[in-house]
């Protein structure tokens, strides 16, 4: 058996299995997964002592996102450059309408940017307000391979959708093979908490954790689960930040509801003590970082299987943007840069330090995000026929995270100074080495928009 490129001598890691095998690549796709030493190719990569994994699929990435007065600082080229350095080879971005814009126009415009990427991307649409044209827009978008739609139960006056809009959107999507992906925080609870705290002068970045209580998340998750169950629609909860919220979803799943949990790296690794440090504004995100006990409890659900995927919720603001309103979190840009650090931080903290099986790591960060977003088996696996997006990982490399050593379009990383074990060394995108020995080998943008397969026909 022969092909264009052979990755030989490594340990292949798939969701559910890892072991010695060689990966044969032809025409940008995996052509075979074979016993070590049984195939040949024009070019060979020696992966001895390395893990050979499907490249990461980041299900939650905001690229150049505008919210309030702020726009996050990266474009597709910059975001995907950082992504590939970190071993991620597919990002899923969001097309979120501003007031007065409609979902389809925004999604089609955003889709055009995929070609600026160093790797492929997919897109979540978004519904904020219901009107009679929404069903036709959703049907058209699903026909064009945009099948997941972000909704919010918070950010009143910006992107918040009413319960009625959530229900109508879920019901419509269920009939079309689409799925709502939803940010759940009960805005009325947060609004009341923030008004009280503002009156007492305690609404700055140092107070972030208390301004958006965990109960607001729990309340909203319960409400949205009930809506999904009532209309028999699938639902995916983004960035669940507490074990209580995850357990509500798990209980619904045991009743037969098609409900899924995404956790994001910063909620699994960082706690709210960061708001007492030197730069509390750098850690302002929604939901906020939780207590050390809550982080520990959330992380346990990576082992129980109750967490479906790990995303980054990458949103690339810099310190200057974060500082402007640091005395009032209501006016601050929310979000942390993370597309580049998601895989190495989770690998080091959970696989190396806590014994999470490496095949489960691939499941959480690549295969399951690909399935939930209708991208599997083209992405998220090394099965023959899959795009040859591959991270060749040195599991023993030790390194220290610094903003200056990363490639995101900002001046800080929430993980500054953290010592990690394991990192990607060589990263292939569609069979081409884009990163070699931790250096960018091919900066040519060849990104493609990947059409998602409707849910229930190859979905999660
Ligand atoms: Zn987000």
For tokens 């409609």, the residue is 102
CA 61 / ligand 1 centre spacing (Å): 7
In a domain, 378, yes or no: no
User: Do residues 190 and 248 share a domain?
Assistant: yes
pLDDT at 457 over 90: no
Tens of pLDDT, residue by residue over 158-176, are: 999 999 999 999 999 999 9
Phi-psi region of 303 (alpha: psi -120 to 50; beta: other; left: phi over 0): alpha
Mean pLDDT in the chain?
97
Q: How far is the CA of 11 from the centre of ligand 1 (A)?
A: 33
Nearby residues for ligand 1 (ion, Cβ within 5 Å): 313
CA distances from 249 to 62, 84, 226, 261 (A): 24, 32, 10, 7
Considering its fold, how many domains does the chain have in total? Answer: 2
Residues 44 and 141 placed together within one structural domain of the fold? no
The residues, any chain, with a CB within 8 Å of residue 121's CB and separated by 6 or more, are 76, 80, 90, 91, 92, 93, 114, 447, 448, 449, 450
Query: Mean pLDDT lowest for which of 125-129, 156-160, 280-284, 313-317?
Result: 156-160
- What is the structure's pLDDT at 253? 97
202 and 170 belong to one structural domain: yes
Reported as a single tens digit per residue, the pLDDT across 41-83 is 999 999 999 999 999 999 999 999 988 889 999 999 999 999 9
Cα of 322 vs centre of ligand 1, distance in Å, is: 16
Q: Decide: 119 and 88 in contact? Cβ < 8 Å.
A: yes
In angstroms, the CA 451 to CA 78 distance is: 22
Each residue of 401-450: pLDDT tens digit?
999 999 999 999 999 999 999 999 999 999 999 999 999 999 999 999 99
Distance (angstroms) between ligand 1 centre and the Cα of 31 equals 35
CATH no. for residue 20?
Answer: 2.30.40.10
Strands 148-152 and 179-183: parallel
pLDDT category at 100 given cuts 50, 70, 90 is confident
126 CA to centre of ligand 1 in angstroms: 12
pLDDT in the model for residue 67? 85
Global pTM reads 0.97
pLDDT category of residue 291 using cuts at 50, 70 and 90? very high
Helix (H) or strand (E) holding 26: strand 22-26
DSSP one-letter code for 289: P
Of 289, 458, 282, the residue nearest 381 (C-alpha): 458
39 part of a folded domain:
yes
CA 144 to centroid of ligand 1, rounded, Å: 23
**Do 460 and 368 form a contact (C-beta atoms < 8 A)?**
yes
Which residue blocks in 144-242 are alpha helix, DSSP H? 163-176, 187-199, 208-211, 214-231
> What are phi and psi for residue 428, nearest 5 degrees?
-105, 140
Percent of the chain with pLDDT over 90: 97
Banded pLDDT at 210 (limits 50, 70, 90) = very high
Q: Are residues 89 and 166 in the same domain?
A: yes
pLDDT for 455: 81
CATH number, domain at 367? 3.20.20.140
Q: What digits encode the pLDDT tens for the residues 320-346? A: 999 999 999 999 999 999 999 999 999
Question: In the predicted model, what is the mean pLDDT of residues 100-129?
Answer: 97
Q: Is the pLDDT of residue 283 over 80?
A: yes
Residue 263 tokens, joined = 């956790």
If asked whether residues 39 and 128 sit together in one domain, one would say: no
Shared-domain flag, residues 259 and 324: yes
Distance between Cα 439 and ligand 1 center (Å): 28
Q: Is residue 242 in some structural domain?
A: yes
pLDDT of residue 458: 42
In this predicted structure, what is the pLDDT of residue 460?
44
Whether residue 42 is found in the same domain as residue 60: no
Alpha-carbon span 90 to 444, nearest angstrom: 16
How far is it, in rounded angstroms, from Cα 265 to Cα 87?
Answer: 15
Q: What is the dihedral of CA 423, 426, 429, 434, to 10 degrees?
A: 110
Task: Say which residue the tokens 């409900």 belong to.
Answer: 259
Q: Is 305 exposed, middle or buried (0-12, 13-18, 19+ CB in 10 A)?
A: exposed
Token readout for 238 is 């983004």
Residues 26 and 59 in one domain: no
Residue 315 has pLDDT above 50, yes or no: yes
């Amino acid at each position: 058996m022969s092909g264009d490129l052979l990755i030989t001598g490594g340990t292949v890691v798939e969701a559910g299995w890892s072991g010695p095998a060689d990966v044969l690549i032809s025409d940008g796709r995996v052509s075979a997964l074979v016993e070590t030493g049984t195939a040949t190719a024009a070019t060979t990569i020696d992966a001895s002592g390395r893990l050979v994994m499907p490249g990461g699929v980041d299900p939650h990435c905001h690229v150049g996102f505008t919210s309030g007065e702020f726009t996050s600082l990266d474009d597709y080229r910059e975001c995907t450059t950082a992504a590939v350095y970190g071993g991620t080879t597919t990002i899923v971005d969001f097309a979120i309408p501003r007031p007065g814009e409609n979902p389809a126009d925004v999604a089609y415009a955003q889709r055009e940017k995929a070609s600026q990427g160093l790797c492929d991307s997919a897109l979540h649409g978004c519904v904020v307000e219901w009107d009679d044209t929404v069903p036709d827009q959703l049907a058209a978008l699903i026909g064009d391979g945009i099948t997941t739609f972000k909704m919010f139960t918070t950010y009143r006056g910006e992107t918040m959708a009413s319960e009625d809009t959530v229900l109508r959107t879920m019901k419509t999507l269920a009939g079309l093979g689409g799925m709502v992906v939803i940010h759940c925080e009960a805005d009325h609870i947060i609004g009341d908490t923030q008004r009280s705290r503002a009156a007492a002068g305690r609404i700055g970045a140092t107070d972030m954790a208390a301004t958006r209580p965990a109960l607001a998340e729990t309340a909203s998750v319960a409400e949205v689960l009930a809506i999904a169950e009532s209309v028999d629609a699938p639902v995916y909860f983004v960035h669940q930040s507490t074990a209580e919220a995850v357990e509500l979803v798990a209980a619904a799943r045991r009743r037969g509801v098609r409900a899924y949990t995404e956790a994001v790296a910063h909620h699994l690794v960082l706690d709210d003590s960061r708001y007492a440090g030197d730069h509390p504004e750098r850690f302002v995100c929604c939901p906020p970082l939780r207590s050390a006990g809550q982080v520990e409890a959330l992380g346990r659900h990576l082992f129980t299987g109750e967490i479906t995927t790990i995303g980054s919720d990458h949103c690339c603001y810099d310190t200057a943007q974060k500082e402007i309103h640091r005395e009032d979190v209501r006016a601050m840009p929310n979000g942390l840069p993370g597309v580049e650090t998601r895989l190495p931080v989770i690998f080091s903290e959970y696989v190396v330090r806590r014994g999470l099986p490496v095949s489960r790591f691939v499941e959480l960060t690549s295969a399951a995000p690909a399935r939930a977003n209708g991208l599997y088996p083209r992405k998220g696996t090394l099965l023959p026929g899959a795009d040859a997006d591959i991270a060749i990982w040195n599991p023993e490399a030790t390194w220290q995270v610094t903003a200056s050593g990363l490639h995101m379009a900002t001046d800080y990383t929430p993980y500054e100074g953290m010592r990690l074990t394991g990192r990607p060394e060589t990263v292939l995108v569609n069979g081409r080495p884009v990163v070699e020995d931790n250096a960018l080998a091919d900066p040519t943008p060849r990104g493609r928009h990947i059409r998602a397969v409707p849910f229930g026909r190859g979905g999660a």
